[in-house]
Amino acid sequence: MAVERKFADGQTRYENVDQGEHHDHLICISCGKILEFTDDRIEKMQEEIAARYHFAIKDHRLEIYGACADCLKKQKIPPHLL
C-alpha cells in the first residue's frame, strides 16, 4: 500500500506503509533521500511527554532534516553551514 505524504519541506513523496508499522524519518534536504528509523527510546519518550500533558496520542511523525552521509561526503559541507 502506497501512501502519499506531504513533508514540511513542501515536497510530496510516496512511501510504502505496512499496516501497523511505524517509523520516523531522517530527511536529506540536499538529495531528498529519506532514511527510516524507529527508536524505542524516542517512542517511549513521546508517550511520557504526552502523559505529562494528559494528552492522548493518536499518531505522530518525527522528521529530522539535514544532510545524509552521501551528500556530506560529496559536498564536504559541514552540517551547520547547510
| Cβ nearer to Zn ion, comparing 12 with 79 | 79
| Cβ nearer to Zn ion, comparing 1 with 61 | 61
Spatial separation of the C-alpha atoms in residues 35 and 33, rounded to whole Å: 7
Residues binding Zn ion (CB under 5 A): 24, 28, 30-31, 33, 68, 71
The answer to whether the CB of 23 falls within 8 A of the CB of 15 is no
Query: Rounded to the nearest whole angstrom, what is the least distance from the CB of residue 81 to Zn ion in the complex?
Result: 15
Query: Rounded to the nearest whole angstrom, what is the least distance from the CB of residue 45 to Zn ion in the complex?
Result: 10
Q: What is the CA radius of gyration of the chain?
A: 15
Query: Rounded to the nearest whole angstrom, what is the least distance from the CB of residue 32 to Zn ion in the complex?
Result: 7
Spatial separation of the C-alpha atoms in residues 32 and 66, rounded to whole Å: 10
